[in-house]
Amino acid sequence: MDADTLRQYLEFYQDLGFKTLYRQAPPAVSESPVAGAAAAVENVALPAPPSLNVRENAGPAVTLAHGRVSAEGAPPDIAMELPPLAPKDDTLLKIMEDIGDCRRCRLCEGRQKIVFGVGNERSPIVFVGEGPGADEDAQGIPFVGRAGQLLTQMIEGTAKKEGISLQRSDVYIANVVKCRPPENRTPEADEMEICGQFLHRQLQVIRPKAICALGGTAARAMTGRKEGVTKLRGNWYKWQDIPVMVTYHPSYLLRAYNVQPKREAWEDLKKLLHFAYD
């Protein structure tokens, strides 16, 4: 099993809340030396997540803490903690170094700069967008174009009206994917999955009090839900144990022909800011 497949297994089951898995204990010493040696080096095989195409009977059966696995008469199962998805003492600098000059997916082919993230790494809020646009691709900074300028106004204007001392630089801003998709198209599932490991680590390092998902792509990445933003916005969801507020992407608000979405986005931000800063 290669490292990427193993990471997908671990991320899938940790997102479901599993912390422990079990592997079958080695045979008793009384068994033949050949059998004992084989058992000592056997690989642990996890049940395949629904999205992975893994052949059946790929190795000895193993379950997580929610179940059992041993065949009748087999030795008791041995508990094993799931290894972490990120290295110990992870930092944003380590994540950036691990990304390097990333060539892991096709998005690297047309990009100018990797857009990692920007802001206060101790912020109680992380804003997550879809992906870089042309301005972001040129500067290597998320949300610096027209949509980014509107996001800055939304954050600072809402905070001021609510009596909260807050500037854009006080929060952290990132995207689901770090490279600009061609023609600003929606990132595809495999691109989001590959880049998602780095966003996952960023969020684990920052450990914000809340996450704001801007738009449908970010909402799906953060909540796993398929409904549109209109249905999801204004409500709290969870990414792991961190509350997630979904609202409109600023680029949509720039195109909106009526004031209702803008009013709703303002209400969403009010709720988010009071939750994080009160």
Q: Read off the pLDDT of residues 224-233 as tens digits, 9 standing for 90 and up.
A: 999 999 999 9
Task: Quote the pTM value.
Answer: 0.72
Q: Can you name the residues that pair with 118 across neighbouring β-strands?
A: 173
| pLDDT tens-digit readout, 244-278 | 999 999 999 998 787 899 999 999 999 999 999 98
Return the pLDDT at 88.
80
Q: Is 192:177 a contact under the CB 8 Å cutoff?
A: yes
Q: Residue 278 gets which letter from DSSP?
A: -
* pLDDT at residue 56, rounded to an integer: 37
Q: One-letter amino acid identity for 53?
A: N
Domains, the chain: 18-81 (no CATH), 92-277 (3.40.470.10)
Enter the tokens of residue 41.
């080096």
Distances 141 to 103, 118, 132, 262 between C-alpha atoms, Å = 19, 7, 8, 24
